[in-house]
Amino acid sequence: MPTNRTFTMIKPDAVADGFTGPIIQQIEAAGFKILALKKVQLNSEEAGKFYAVHAERPFYQSLCDYMSSGAIIPMILEKENAVEDFRKLIGSTNPAQAAEGTIRKQFARSLESNAIHGSDSNENAAIEGSFFFSEKELI
Ligand code: UDP
Ligand code: MG
């Protein structure tokens, strides 16, 4: 995946809370183009695969249960410097520490239920994007 792309998903808390529209509005207003988007629900095995990098962390099982608890909205986004700029837009992992105006500050419920995912590197953006989408789904 080129370096001007990142992967995101709106997480189950934010979808359930009715924040899909406002979050997508802020993503587009920040200059990101949506190349692919869908609504899906993972089972806990699929959530476990997506977050396999965290398998040894104490929060892993709870994270997998949460991420499979409801619908999510995965997306592939395009913008110059996409990975870094998107991490800035969403804010710190813990919404209590996220900067004012960031998506997590505005819409997250908690450290675990933190509204949205953003890839942390170009390499992971490519891996995570291909978890949900094939190249031909990117328009
Ligand atoms: N998480 C959690 N407890 C923690 C750290 C992380 O429940 O102490 C959850 C949270 O949903 C977070 C996800 O695990 O978004 C992945 O953690 P990571 O450290 O990769 O944070 P992110 O890259 O999402 O900011
Ligand atoms: Mg991460």
Domain assignment present for 65: no
pLDDT for 3 equals 76
Domain assignment present for 37: yes
Domain assignment present for 62: no
Strand order in 33-37's β-sheet? 33-37, 73-78, 5-10, 116-118
pLDDT for 2 equals 55
Q: How far is the CA of 132 from the centre of ligand 2 (A)?
A: 17
Mean pLDDT (the chain, rounded): 97
| Model confidence pLDDT, tens digit, residues 96-126 | 999 999 999 999 999 999 999 999 999 999 9
Domain assignment present for 92: yes
Active-site choice (5, 11, 104, 117): 117
0.85 exceeded by pTM: yes
Average pLDDT over residues 60-83: 98
Q: What percentage of residues in the chain have a pLDDT greater than 90?
A: 98
Give, for ligand 1, the residue of 13, 89, 114 to mutate: max count of ligand atoms closer than 8 Å to Cβ: 114
For residue 106, the domain's CATH number is: 3.30.70.141
pLDDT for 1 equals 47
Question: Is 54 among the residues known to form the active site?
Answer: no
User: Residues, the chain, total?
Assistant: 139
Domain assignment present for 54: no
Domain containing residue 112:
5-42+73-134
In whole angstroms, give the CA distance from residue 122 to residue 105: 24
Q: Of the candidates 133, 135, 129, which has an alpha carbon nearest to the alpha carbon of residue 5?
A: 129
Q: Of the candidates 94, 43, 50, which has an alpha carbon nearest to the alpha carbon of residue 69?
A: 43
Domain assignment present for 64: no
pLDDT for 15 equals 98
Check if 46 has its Cβ closer than 6 Å to any atom of ligand 1.
no
Residues 105 and 98 sit within 8 Å (Cβ to Cβ)? yes
Domain assignment present for 124: yes
Check if 59 has its Cβ closer than 6 Å to any atom of ligand 1.
yes
